[in-house]
């Protein structure tokens, strides 16, 4: 479970990236974090993953405080985005072994988990080659494997399908659905409404660093298309008309 209470992040220079954001993401559900580019989604996820320290407010991941127990928090999470790249001069298998050791896993445990993720994501056909030679889809499959190697109870996905082709994006979506089925707590940050409608049970909308909506997906839609509801929430007004 992930609980954020009045999370706030102000960067040096006075830029308020996130202001008083509170929400709860529960196990066995996919929690959608929606917002336009620059709304504060990535900053929120970075605070929850202990990369950034909140200026105010608090958050817990699996009961561990992000500021007081950052190592415990990091052990409990897996983080995936399209920008979290791999090491080009290592093979996919070596990347997994490396991260397994970083997560303090024993050699036997690493071997066991690698066999599981290898068969789950069908990595065997290419993963002995260096990551530099992978297609975008292959890279994403290895990244997913890295994210779940230590079998974390909480998973963060920060725009995981951005820039992917339809087949690779489908792999990611199916994987996220499988995480829900496995009872994981999933926080899924995106601005692609079709993905949210397919995946998310619960959504929070962030705009200009502030939480403007938080509720079940059906409640937020309120009978409309999610895209229309989202545009209303972020205060979009039609500006261009045809001549």
Partner 1 sequence: MREVFLKELREMFRDKRVRSTAFLGPIILIFGLLFLLSTVIGNLAKPQSVKVHLLESTPSAWVKRFEAEKYQVQFVKSEPEGRKLITDGKARTLVIFDAPGSGKVLKVRVLFDESEQLGQIGKERILGVFRAVNEKKLAGYLKGQNVTPEMVSEIVPEAVNIGVTKDKGAGEFLVGFLPYLIVIWAFYGGMSSASDLVAGEKERSTLETLLISPVSRTQIVLGKIFALGVICFLSSLSSLVGLGLFVGVRPPGSEMMLNKGLGINGSTVVLAIALLIPLVLMMASLLILISSYAKNAREAQTYLSLGSFVVIMPAMFSQFIGLTEFGKAAWVDYVPVLNVANHLRLALLSKPDFAGAGVAIVVNLVLALLAGWIAVRMFHKETIITRA
User: Binding segment for partner 1 among 83-91, 108-116, 186-194, 200-208 (CB under 8 A)?
Assistant: 83-91
Footprint of partner 1 on 183-202 (CB under 8 A): none
33 binds partner 1 (CB under 8 A): no
Window 121-140: contact mask with partner 1 (x via CB under 8 A)? ---------x----------
Rounded to whole angstroms, the Cα distance separating 187 from 25 reads 7
Per CB under 8 A, does 85 bind partner 1? yes
Reading the block at residue 158, the tokens are 């920060």
For the bound state, the minimum distance from the C-beta of residue 110 to partner 1, rounded and expressed in Å, comes to 12
Options 41, 46, 184, 207; binder of partner 1; rule CB under 8 A: 46
C-alpha to C-alpha distance for 35 and 208, rounded to whole angstroms: 9
User: How many CA within 13 A on the CB side of residue 176?
Assistant: 30
Output the CA angle 75-79-82, nearest 5 degrees.
160
Binding site for partner 1 (CB under 8 A): 11, 46, 49-53, 71, 74-75, 77, 79, 81, 83-90, 94, 98-99, 101-104, 130, 146
């Amino acid at each position: 479970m992930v609980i954020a209470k009045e999370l706030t992040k102000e960067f040096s220079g006075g830029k308020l990236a996130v202001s008083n954001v509170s929400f709860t993401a529960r196990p066995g559900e996919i929690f959608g974090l929606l917002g336009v580019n620059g709304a504060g989604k990535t900053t929120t996820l970075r605070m929850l993953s202990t990369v950034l320290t909140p200026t105010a407010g608090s958050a817990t991941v699996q009961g561990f405080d992000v500021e007081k127990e950052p190592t415990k928090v990091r052990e409990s999470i897996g983080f995936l985005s399209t920008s979290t790249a791999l090491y080009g001069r290592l093979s996919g298998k070596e990347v997994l072994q490396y991260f397994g050791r970083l997560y303090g896993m024993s050699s036997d445990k690493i071997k066991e988990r690698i066999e599981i993720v290898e068969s789950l994501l069908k990595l065997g056909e290419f993963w002995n080659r260096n990551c530099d030679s992978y297609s975008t889809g292959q890279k994403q499959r290895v990244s997913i494997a890295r994210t779940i190697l230590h079998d974390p109870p909480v998973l963060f996905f920060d725009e995981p399908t951005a820039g992917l082709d339809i087949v690779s994006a489908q792999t990611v979506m199916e994987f996220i659905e499988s995480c829900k089925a496995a009872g994981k707590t999933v926080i899924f940050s995106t601005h692609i409404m079709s993905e949210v409608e397919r995946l998310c049970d619960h959504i929070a909308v962030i705009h200009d660093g502030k939480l403007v909506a938080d509720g079940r997906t059906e409640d937020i839609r309120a009978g409309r298309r999610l895209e229309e509801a989202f545009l209303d929430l972020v205060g979009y007004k039609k500006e261009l008309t045809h001549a």
